[in-house]
Amino acid sequence: MCLVRLLATLTAIACLAGCATGAPASPTASPPASPTATDRPQSSPSPDGLFSRIPGIVRQVEPSVVTIFTPGSLGSGVVYRADGIILTNEHVVEGQRRVQVAFADGKRADGRVLATDARTDLAVVKAERDDLHPATFQPKLPVPGELALALGSPLGFENTVTAGIISGLDREVPDSAQAGHALVDLIQTDAAISPGVSGGALVNARGEVVGINEAYIPPQEGAVSIGFAIPAGVVTWAADQLLDKGKVTHSFLGVGLRTLTPEIAQSLDVGTEGGAIITSIVRGGPAADAGLRRGDVITAFAGQPVRTSEDVVDKLRDLRPGTKTAVEVQRDGSTEQVDVTIGEAPAS
């Protein structure tokens, strides 16, 4: 497949997963030997054991998940601090300064919207309670295939939990840019997410919040259990800024990225199996001004190796606008280093 056609495909789809191609079994191959006790993974619980732990996980996390009521609507939220600080989606409280918060213990309290950030679709609410149970946030991304529980209040059914797995990473909600802000770098899950679950918690088998529930693709679009959550690392990064200064400063590189898979690397004849491929570039943005191109594979950013697109996104959050940083790329079979001056994301 030619480079232009492959990159156009990468840009058009929400995310790209390598196709698994199974080789036919050899007719003379003998059955594999049964693993010994030392060969078997010791840390992987049996499916029955994992599912039996779900009620305990729910009991652990449930006190940290709330329902947020606004005039004519509702959503969910997650307790961030014991003194009443709650996180939710910006679209849950959009246009509101006062809300009401319902807790798992049956109590209700008035809440005040302190700050919002439309770009990450996050908001901070202060409830009039100071005895809350904060959730534990897992800053690292989860692993596709691991357990995922979505907690929230779908259609007003408070304290609801659904179960599934982490279906994928680095996802983008289709056509979200047309609604005002592109929702990118999201976690995908098949744990059912319905209206009212937005702002609730997506948690792992340890009861840690790995994401804030964000959106889903409805069945009428042909989807079955495709939901999305904002990664916890993004959530805490934005929440701390909202609490500290009332807004989020977004550093800007001006590129679209996808994690380089071995299959893509082979198709492009790239001399690396890890990195982030530039699938689109903003004209006049920092990357374009520095000479980066569509098709470049970023292998190091700001002095740190890059294995996935998330590595670039994570490091970019730590860089202030105006900072000059080195970007190492694979281009046309050779390694090049480009200096980029980080910008600030334009208002949208």
DSSP string for 155-220: GG--SEEEEEEEEEEEE--TTGGGGTS---SEEEE-S---TT-TT-EEE-TTS-EEEEEEEE--GG
Q: How far is CA 267 from the centre of its chain?
A: 27
CA distance 274 to 255: 18
273: which 2 tokens?
Answer: 């199996």
> Of the listed 64, 117, 121, 309, which one is catalytic?
121
* Among the listed residues 172, 201, 189, the one whose alpha carbon sits nearest the alpha carbon of residue 88: 201
198 is catalytic: yes
CA distance 204 to 147: 6
250 is catalytic: no
133 is catalytic: no
Neighbours of 208 (CB within 10 A): 20
> Of the listed 64, 76, 91, 311, which one is catalytic?
91
Q: How far is CA 97 from the centre of its chain?
A: 27
* Three-class SS state of 274: coil
Q: Which amino acid, 206?
A: R
Give the relative orientation of helices 309-317 and 232-245 as an angle to the nearest 10 degrees: 10
> Of the listed 64, 167, 194, 198, which one is catalytic?
198
Q: Read off φ and ψ for residue 40, nearest 5 degrees.
A: -75, 140
Q: How far is CA 258 from the centre of its chain?
A: 14
Q: Which residues are catalytic?
A: 91, 121, 198
